[in-house]
Structure 1
Amino acid sequence: MKIVKNAGRMVLLYSIIGLLSTNVFAQLPKEVLVKSPGLYPEGLVYDATTESFFTTSVSQGKIVKVSKKGKVTVFADDEDLVSTIGLEIDVKRNRLIVCNSDPGASIKSTEATKGKLAAIVFYNLKTGKREKYIDLAAIAPLGGHMANDVVVDNKGNFYITDSFSSIIYKVTKRGKATILINDKRLASPAGTFGLNGLAYHPDGFLIVALYNGGRLFKIPLKKPSNFTEINLGNKPFPTIDGVLLLDDNTIAVACNNLTGAKYPSAVYKVKSTNNWQSANTIGVFETGDTFPTTLTKADNDVFVVYAKLPMLFGGVKPVAQEFEITKVEFQKKK
């Protein structure tokens, strides 16, 4: 009987080992190849429930779902989408929130929307059904507008940056839109991209990037006008695109080159020890000439999407045939 019991235990042990091995092999690869000609993705989020990524398209105005093996399926492609930019998952309410804009490089661009469109769209995360369309430009002063990135707080409110103005919008979980802040100190020179990536900090403030100039701002949600610029010391990057909170004291920022300046694109790890009054770069992941835009957490790792947008805005033919979603592996900053 003892032999039988031990044999049973051995079978159980091997079963557990098998399950653990299967789990290891099920981990995300270091790189997911997105074979979708002319997609030019910009935003990126990871859905842990389906173990897949969602990304957008500056050129085609749609949202696609990408499996960890690279299988691409269209999640949403309704007629009102011109250029889809940043996006966010609202897990509690089973929603995907997407920024809809027109920077002028989409097959759906028109003179009526180019440089003026700023909206967000709510989709049911499971069905892809559109639930709400909110025109942000309708509540903003006249001028250029472009909804760029979106983040959700712990109460279900959304915050959206406008790259062609000095505005950050707030949208409640029920869809009421207001202007959180409109301040000229958050503007950039005409003809350049301004407000870009942002992250919500659980202590009640936003960390927001200004693309041109590579600056970061701390914006308290209770009194946004009391915002401050985060001191980055020796200014290690001239642009900042995506921003991702890694923990309360650490963020990752994606830096690329749409300005013509000569410097390498990369993802940086940035740490603060004084509640984001200042911060220093502690790690770097060089990406080569790929134009990294947005970052997301997937399992315990960070992934970045290579958008290759200079090809799109430069009119390069033939169009890029594939894009990469790549695991970020930071090296200590020298």
Structure 2
Amino acid sequence: MKTLPSSLRRLLLSTLLASTTAFAGGNITFSTEQAYPEGIAWSATQKVFFVSSVHQGVVGKVTLDGRYTPFIRDEKLISSAGLHLDTARNLLWVAIGDLGASVRSKPENQGKLAAIAAYDTTTGERRAYHDLGALIEGGHFANDITTDPQGNVYVTDSFAPVVYRIDPKGTASVFAKSDWFKGEGFNLNGLVYHPDGYLLVGKYNSGELFRISTKDPSNIHRVKLNDTLVGADGLLLRGRDRITVVQNAGKDRVLDVVSHDGWETATLQPAKATAQSFPTAAAVVGKDLYVLNARLDTLFSAEAPKVNEFVLQKF
């Protein structure tokens, strides 16, 4: 057998080692300098994950073999948080805020910014930008996003007790408001649209889950749970009767929540621990669930060493 040149052997070995790292245990590891991604969205067309960045603001792409490339660099992206892929309109919606942890943070924005932007998923060109915080007084942080079949976009604000809506014509408004959404620290966080015509919205600090009618936003129901979901971050609809919840705030786990009565009540299923700290969001690729370990605890701790490597953990 012909011996391969040493340079080619080294190249093949490095490629093999990179692949082994990226797919260790089925997980996908990617590196990018202190990005601290909070949101993810899977594109079946492009075969990539879109990932946000609390620290850099940049929206990047991650392939299944763990290669990261920057995709959207926009001065509007202070901290990019939740992402939502609007396949019907070929748009990537990005939630924007400022927690004072971004290289682009400004004193006048910190805790006061709630915005959302839409980008062409092919070119990365910005198609829309909405300053949602201007709709209501107080503190603001745009956190997560979902859409309904009519083309309405819904956004949570973790510091204001509201859910916003942008209609198909581009008009932004306060959609739902309630004293139930008030509290200390982070309040409303993850949300999903349910095909029966309502939103399911998690409240981070109290662990509550709310059902909000999209036809009558004053119809807000607190889902009766058998336990609280304190630290509930990303929500993912897995069927009419099941959502997957990603928890952090020291929980660092992923679990399913199941309802058999139209989300009047729901039951927490056994949880699985994440490999690393502060998981924030999840995405489905085929039959596989991938959970993003965002490591945000190391970003917000002045003493903690900062990290450049992040894991999409396969469950």
Superposition TM-score, scaled by structure 2 size: 0.90
Within 5 Å, give how 1:163-312 maps onto structure 2: 163-189=158-184, 192-235=185-228, 237-257=229-249, 264-312=251-299
| Equivalent in the alignment of 1:314 | 301
For 2:62 and 2:200, the matched residues in 1 are separated by: 28
Shifted more, 88-97 versus 298-307: the winner is 298-307
- Structure 1 contact 116–137 (Cα < 8 Å) conserved: yes
- Structure 1 contact 270–283 (Cα < 8 Å) conserved: no
Deviation at 1:283, TM superposition (A): 3.4
* AA partner of residue 309 (structure 1): L
For 2:87 and 2:302, the matched residues in 1 are separated by: 37
Q: Specify the SS of the correspondent of 1:323.
A: strand
For 1:38 and 1:286, the matched residues in 2 are separated by: 23
| Equivalent in the alignment of 1:12 | none
Query: Does the alignment pair 1:73 with 2:69?
Result: yes
Deviation at 1:184, TM superposition (A): 1.4
* AA partner of residue 240 (structure 2): D
| Equivalent in the alignment of 1:8 | none
Cα shift readout 1:2-60 (whole Å, capped 9, x = no counterpart): xxxxxxxxxxxxxxxxxxxxxxxxx9982111111211010011000011100100011
Structure whose CA Rg is larger? 1
**Runs of 4+ off more than 4 Å:** none
Shifted more, 174-183 versus 113-122: the winner is 174-183
Change (3 A) 1:74 1:138: same
| Equivalent in the alignment of 2:15 | none
Shifted more, 319-328 versus 285-294: the winner is 285-294
Cα shift readout 1:95-133 (whole Å, capped 9, x = no counterpart): 000001101111111011111111111100100011111
Change (3 A) 1:183 1:148: same
Cα shift readout 1:231-287 (whole Å, capped 9, x = no counterpart): 11133x322111110000000001101xxxxx5310011100111001112232211
Query: Structure 2: which 5+ runs fail to align?
Result: 1-22
Q: Specify the SS of the correspondent of 2:310.
A: strand
For 2:83 and 2:24, the matched residues in 1 are separated by: 21
For 1:127 and 1:143, the matched residues in 2 are separated by: 35
Deviation at 1:298, TM superposition (A): 1.4
Q: Percent identity?
A: 39
* AA partner of residue 213 (structure 2): P
Change (3 A) 1:167 1:184: same
Within 5 Å, give how 1:142-181 maps onto structure 2: 142-181=137-176
For 1:39 and 1:278, the matched residues in 2 are separated by: 38
Q: Which of these residues, 72, 84, 87, is aligned with residue 88 of structure 1?
A: 84
For 1:155 and 1:290, the matched residues in 2 are separated by: 37
Superposition TM-score, scaled by structure 1 size: 0.85
* AA partner of residue 205 (structure 1): Y
- Structure 1 contact 215–239 (Cα < 8 Å) conserved: no
For 2:302 and 2:148, the matched residues in 1 are separated by: 38
- Structure 1 contact 209–240 (Cα < 8 Å) conserved: yes
- Structure 2 contact 79–98 (Cα < 8 Å) conserved: yes
Deviation at 1:181, TM superposition (A): 1.1
| Equivalent in the alignment of 2:12 | none
| Equivalent in the alignment of 1:130 | 126
Change (3 A) 1:289 1:68: closer
Change (3 A) 1:81 1:254: same
- Structure 1 contact 40–57 (Cα < 8 Å) conserved: yes
* AA partner of residue 202 (structure 2): A
